[in-house]
Amino acid sequence: MGLSDEALVAGMAAGDAQAAAGFVRRFQARVYGLALSIVGVSATAEDVAQEAFTRAWRFADGYDPRRAGVAPWLLAITRNAAIDAVRLRRDRPYEPGVLLAMLTRVDEGGSRHDDEIAEVDRVRTALRGLPVEQATAVVLAIFHGWTAKEIAEREGVPLGTTKTRIRLGMSRLRDHFEVRDE
């Protein structure tokens, strides 16, 4: 119903306050949910989510629909803002086991589009199918922003082992996920 996600972003790029309001309303639960899953503290998550919307508003004219849907684009911005906050505040984010359980649990769909629900199901199935060491390495990198070296130290394994886990985990995920290309 209403304007498409892309139309809202285009409206924001043109400085349309109504489009910005619609955009925030449509994505606030997604953005706040992701921020909270990374920083683990409600007040910080609120700040991070606001920062993510501010960045999206500022960079709306750089959004390229050929490269990513609006939701992945906005969530990537949110992820970056959240990781910045975690590094700065030295908050202790969720343990990877807790995060993995959250990611692989089926949700009701909430504000997702129908086609996105199918996409999410595919990724969730793929993540569930990964050996737990690979899933952990991938999740620590994506959600905590850790380098392979940091993950290796945390897991107490050689750096080469961590690199292999990330490579295999991401390759398997990609095989299950039909990637938008172009």
Residues 70-109 that bind another protein (CB under 8 A): 71-73, 75-81, 84-85, 88, 102-105, 107
Instruction: Specify the residue for token string 């700065």.
Output: 88
Q: How many residues bind another protein (CB under 8 A)?
A: 88
Residue 130 binds to another protein (criterion: CB under 8 A): no
96-100, Cβ contacts within 8 angstroms, sequence gap of 24 or more: 96/136, 96/139, 96/140, 96/144, 97/136, 99/37, 99/139, 99/143, 100/127, 100/132, 100/135, 100/136, 100/139
User: Using the rule CB under 8 A, which residue among 3, 7, 41, 120 binds another protein?
Assistant: 120
Binding status of residue 8 toward another protein by CB under 8 A: no
- Exposed (0-12), middle (13-18) or buried (19+): which is 55, by Cβ within 10 Å? middle
Min dist. Cβ of residue 174 to another protein (A): 4
Place of tokens 């992701």: 34
Nearer of residues 4 and 159 to another protein, judged by Cβ? 159
Site for another protein in 10-69 (CB under 8 A): 12-13, 15, 17, 20-21, 24-25, 28-30, 32-34, 36-37, 42, 44-62, 67-68
Q: Whole-number minimum distance, CB 164 to another protein, in Å? A: 9
Q: Which of 7, 10, 41, 142 binds another protein (CB under 8 A)?
A: 142
